[in-house]
Amino acid sequence: MAETGHISVLAQEVLTGLAPKPDGFYLDTTFGAGGHSRAILDAIGKRGKLLALDRDPDAILRGEKLVELYPRQLTVKHATFQKLGAMLGEWGVDKVDGILFDLGISSFQIDQPERGFSFRFDGPLDMRMDHSIDSNSKTAADLVNTMTDRALADIFFKYGEESQSRKIARAIVQDRDKKPFTSTEQLAKLAERVIPNRKRGIHPATKIFQALRIAVNSELEQLENGLKAATNALANGGRLVVISFHSLEDRIVKQTFRRLTSLPIITGPAALLPQTKNVPLPFRLINKKPIVPTLEEQQLNPRSRSAKMRILERVAI
């Protein structure tokens, strides 16, 4: 689904992965532009129910318009997906038939200069996904202007896998003593100056911006907690579909799914017991290798190129 330039990634594959039932209960933890939610709503029909969450208040406003079209089926809540258990409780449901995580940032967030997510536009160095009045999270400018060079280097290396992390961090600390960082353009130009010979097609600031965004929004911690809450909320036969867009996210998803679908390693005499060998597993992988966009989709929507989708199912025992 396209809406104001936004195209939902792996839209048909998401529906195939969730395998929605006409009277099922479903959860979209990252409403975004609502493309996936709308496809799920059309698939489950009038008897089905969908709860959509998003930490971005702008997404919730878009969701209210969709609620008008599906008043009996759709509920939209402002919340991070690590709070999905509490949101389901408010909804009056403890188990659902399918859950979707579409990670990363939406086209709306990237294309709004005032949000500060992109170095393509000049805007305030913000990067908070939740920029509501109630949010008390620090902005990217707060981190860049207050953290030590060592702490900044750790963020760039850990969350951006930036090989020049120390060099960039030292330059930031030197520059901010003269003038604090307030804009995306200011940080992007520093990156261009410090690492000017980066491979063609990849802007020198790419990994820095990714790292700061992840740090500002605690994205990896949110993902780990959200996956735990999601697996607890799946009904028998329910499916969890996760779309990730970079290796750090995908690694967490892959390791979590592997842990849930693998028997623990048991050594010593206990390993010989038949009940140890025949322990039923509560989950199974639907796809051993990640599902990726077709070449046609990548050409239509270049932002989908790095997407990987993994699917987990709770097995009825």
Residue 231 falls inside a structural domain: yes
Distance CA 258, CA 263 (A): 10
Total count of domains within the chain: 2
Q: What is the pLDDT of residues 47-62, one digit of tens each?
A: 999 999 999 999 999 9
Domain co-membership, 228 together with 202 = no
Structural domain boundaries, residue 168:
138-217
pLDDT for residue 2: 42
| Cβ atoms of residues 50 and 42 within 8 Å | no
Q: Are residues 213 and 302 in the same domain?
A: no
Q: Are residues 43 and 88 in the same domain?
A: yes
pLDDT at 111 over 90: no
Give yes or no: residues 201 and 272 share one domain: no
pLDDT, mean of residues 2-17: 80
CATH no. for residue 151? 1.10.150.170
Cα separation of 171 and 152, whole Å? 11
Instruction: Give yes or no for a contact between 14 and 36, defined as CB atoms under 8 angstroms apart.
Output: yes
How is residue 146 written in tokens?
């207050």
Query: Are the CB atoms for 62 and 88 separated by under 8 Å?
Result: no
User: Residue 275 contacts by C-beta under 8 Å, 6 or more apart in sequence?
Assistant: none
Residue 115 forms part of a structural domain = no
Q: How far apart are CA 270 and CA 13, in angstroms?
A: 42
What CATH number does residue 279 fall under? 3.40.50.150
Mean pLDDT for all residues in the chain:
90
Residue 119 in domain: no
